[in-house]
Amino acid sequence: MTVSRKKSKKRTVASRIKKYLITGVLIWLPIIAGIWTINYIITTSDHLIRLIPKGFRPEDLFGHHIPGLGIVLALLILLITGVFAGNIIGRKVVRLWDSFFGHIPVVKTVYTGVKKVSESLLSDSSKSFKTPLLVQFPHQGVWTIAFVSGSLPDEIRHSLKDDEDEFLPVYVPTTPNPTGGYYIMVRRADTRPLNLSVDDALKYIISLGMVMPDGLPPPADIEEDDDDDEK
């Protein structure tokens, strides 16, 4: 009995140490990832300082580099660009810019594609991803989260013989990187609506199902087969 108790205590201590180590990793891993992301954004943005003529840069004026000024400069550039593009002259310049890139082989494909995706993701219109739902993908009987993506062009609707709005264009993101995925067209009847926001659905996808949407209970643990353990 004494030997078995000592072995039991050793297993208990080992399991506790393992538990504490895993808890420490789970706490520090997102912190390190967050710090790395912030540092990467600041470091990358600080390269914009090179756009300022030499002699007017912070290191020339103050004698040392000031981290984070690149982000301020980037925000100013975005704000000024948005204000400029909002008036008549700015819209004409943007159209000329689009026309210029639209006539360069290969470049026009990349430029137009990025422009369309950016407008879709950042737009407040109905073209942006606003409706999470469940679809069967990659085959029947397997369900995954997808997002309604805009509307179908008339040519595709005609080819699908979709006169009653039976098909939906949806984007199926990959896990854990939702920036890659599949654009598919599914029958509306083959989808299931979800009472989730886009943010909650994305967090659920990115976390591999570990982060439950707000208001939902955590999933119950799957009971293991005791017979297998005994074996």
Q: What is the pLDDT of residues 83-96, one digit of tens each?
A: 888 888 888 888 88
pLDDT at 126 over 50: no
pLDDT tier at 230, thresholds 50, 70, 90: very low
**What value does the mean pLDDT of the chain take?**
77
Confidence of residue 4 (pLDDT cuts 50, 70, 90): low
What single-letter amino acid sits at 186? V
In the numeric block, which tokens belong to residue 198? 């886009």
Strands in 192-193's sheet, in edge-to-edge order, are 181-187, 167-173, 143-148, 132-136, 192-193
Distance CA 173, CA 149 (A): 12
Q: Which residues of 57-67 are buried (b: 16+ CB within 10 A; e: fewer)?
A: bbeeeeeeeee
Q: What number is the average pLDDT over the span 87-113?
A: 82
pLDDT at 109: 81
The confidence band for 70, taking pLDDT boundaries of 50, 70 and 90, is confident
pTM comes to: 0.51
Check residue 168 and give its pLDDT.
Answer: 86
pLDDT in tens, 170-223: 889 888 777 788 888 888 888 998 888 888 888 888 887 777 766 555 555 444
CA pair distance 86, 153, nearest whole angstrom: 28
